[in-house]
């Protein structure tokens, strides 16, 4: 029952979160910092009350380790959101972040000296190919979509290229953080909810560096069209309403993933998150009418097929079917 509830939380929370994030980004493309700050503040407040019991509960993992992990987590979150300012379309942003498998494998080989099966290398090659196809097609759209001078076209392309470089750096940093977190969990045990709290609480002072940008967007949000909220009967600027729903759905999404990690095997969690990404992508394309060519569809299909091969879904399905057949044979005997 908990597993079904968690899966519903992941799909409803994460898919809704993507919709409201794009509503915010379409109106104010540079609003990534205020969105990130609001999400961090909400999750930190919830964790402070329910996880640390108003600061009275001591952390199981030494604080010095959390400082390192939080520095990486904060950097990844800010760069991923800030990349949207550089002509990065939301579908490309989502597909590119699906390349975490590649980054994890590369750093796993380099840092942890891991070795993988041929199916793992095949899946990584497919994910790389899919991302490459989508990236190249988006680059062509950047080049041909502008009606300005040749100099403006070059500037737009370089601007987009900088966004791709930021996403690449965030991808590698995120993989490094995952390896560091895996090492901590092996040493001190799994404390996912505690890590969730400190990952969102400790970076809050860092937003002081972004305070002017956050304040400017507060002003812009307050100037947006007011809409009446039925429950309270008051008119609220629509962008603040979108932000509130985005923050709540982000919490629901993360909470669902947390429950899944405690209830299910990692294979199930990876599969659910992968399917969620795919559905979010479809919603983004259809609802917002994002430009998506046939080649984008090919690239997307290859990315997610490679991800499914990586999680060895086919092997698990075959083993499950074989087990059922053997059970039937035993009953027949």
Summarize pLDDT for 31-73 with one digit per residue, the tens. Answer: 888 998 999 999 999 999 999 989 889 899 899 999 998 888 8
E strands present in the chain:
226-229, 234-237
Does residue 143 surpass a pLDDT of 70? no
Does residue 224 surpass a pLDDT of 90? yes
Average pLDDT over residues 288-297: 78
Phi, psi (degrees; rounded to nearest 5) at 65 = -70, -35
Q: Which one is predicted more confidently, 130 or 95?
A: 130
Does residue 27 surpass a pLDDT of 60? yes
Q: What pLDDT does residue 136 have?
A: 75
Using CA atoms, how far apart are residues 76 and 31, in angstroms rounded to an integer? 16
Does residue 134 surpass a pLDDT of 80? no
- Cβ within 8 Å of residue 148, ≥6 positions away: 156
Q: What pLDDT does residue 215 have?
A: 96
3-class state of residue 257 by DSSP: helix
DSSP conformation class of 85: G
Q: Are 91 and 285 in contact (CB under 8 A)?
A: yes
Using CA atoms, how far apart are residues 175 and 169, in angstroms rounded to an integer? 10
Q: pLDDT band for position 279 (50/70/90)? A: confident
DSSP conformation class of 114: -
Q: Are 18 and 284 in contact (CB under 8 A)?
A: yes
Average pLDDT over residues 271-280: 74
Using CA atoms, how far apart are residues 203 and 37, in angstroms rounded to an integer? 9
List Cα–Cα distances, 158 to 80, 161, 261, in angstroms.
Answer: 18, 5, 40
Sequence spans of domains, the chain: 1-330
Q: Is the dihedral of CA 21, 22, 23, 28 positive or negative?
A: positive
Q: What pLDDT does residue 39 have?
A: 92
DSSP conformation class of 99: T
Q: What pLDDT does residue 138 have?
A: 67
Does residue 258 surpass a pLDDT of 80? no
Return the axis-axis angle of helices 2-27 and 90-97, rounded to nearest 10°.
140
Average pLDDT of the residues of the chain? 81
Using CA atoms, how far apart are residues 191 and 132, in angstroms rounded to an integer? 36
**Of all residues in the chain, what percent carry a pLDDT higher than 90?**
18
Using CA atoms, how far apart are residues 44 and 47, in angstroms rounded to an integer? 5
H-type helices in 146-234, by residue range?
150-188, 192-201, 211-222
Q: pLDDT band for position 103 (50/70/90)? A: confident
Report if pTM > 0.75.
Answer: no
């Amino acid at each position: 029952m908990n597993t079904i509830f968690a899966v519903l939380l992941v799909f409803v929370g994460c898919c809704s979160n993507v919709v409201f994030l794009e509503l915010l980004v379409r109106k104010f493309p540079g609003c990534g910092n205020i969105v990130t700050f609001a999400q961090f503040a909400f999750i930190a407040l919830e964790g402070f009350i329910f996880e640390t019991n108003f600061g009275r509960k001591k952390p199981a993992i030494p604080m010095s380790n959390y400082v390192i992990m939080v520095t990486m987590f904060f950097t990844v979150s800010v760069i991923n959101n800030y990349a949207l300012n550089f002509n990065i379309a939301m579908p490309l942003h989502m597909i590119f972040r699906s390349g975490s498998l590649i980054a994890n494998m590369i750093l796993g080989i380099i840092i942890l000296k891991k070795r993988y099966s041929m199916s793992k290398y095949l899946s990584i090659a497919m994910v790389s190919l899919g991302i490459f196809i989508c990236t190249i097609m988006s680059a062509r759209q950047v080049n041909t979509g502008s009606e300005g001078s040749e100099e403006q076209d070059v500037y737009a392309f370089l601007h987009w290229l900088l966004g791709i470089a930021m996403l690449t750096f965030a991808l590698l940093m995120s993989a490094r953080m995952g390896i560091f977190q895996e090492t901590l969990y092996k040493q001190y045990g799994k404390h996912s909810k505690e890590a969730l709290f400190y990952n969102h609480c400790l970076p809050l002072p860092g937003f002081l560096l972004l305070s002017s940008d956050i304040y400017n967007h507060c002003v812009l949000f307050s100037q947006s069209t007011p809409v009446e909220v039925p429950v309270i009967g008051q008119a609220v600027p629509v962008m603040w309403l979108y932000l509130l729903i985005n923050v709540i759905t982000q919490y629901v999404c993360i909470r669902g993933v947390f429950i899944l990690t405690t209830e299910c095997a990692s294979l199930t969690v990876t599969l659910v998150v992968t399917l969620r990404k795919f559905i979010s992508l479809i919603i983004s394309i259809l609802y917002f009418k994002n430009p998506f060519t046939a080649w984008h569809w090919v690239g997307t299909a290859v990315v997610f097929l490679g991800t499914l091969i990586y999680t060895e879904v086919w092997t698990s399905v075959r083993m499950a079917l074989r087990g059922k057949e053997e059970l039937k044979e035993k009953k027949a005997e």
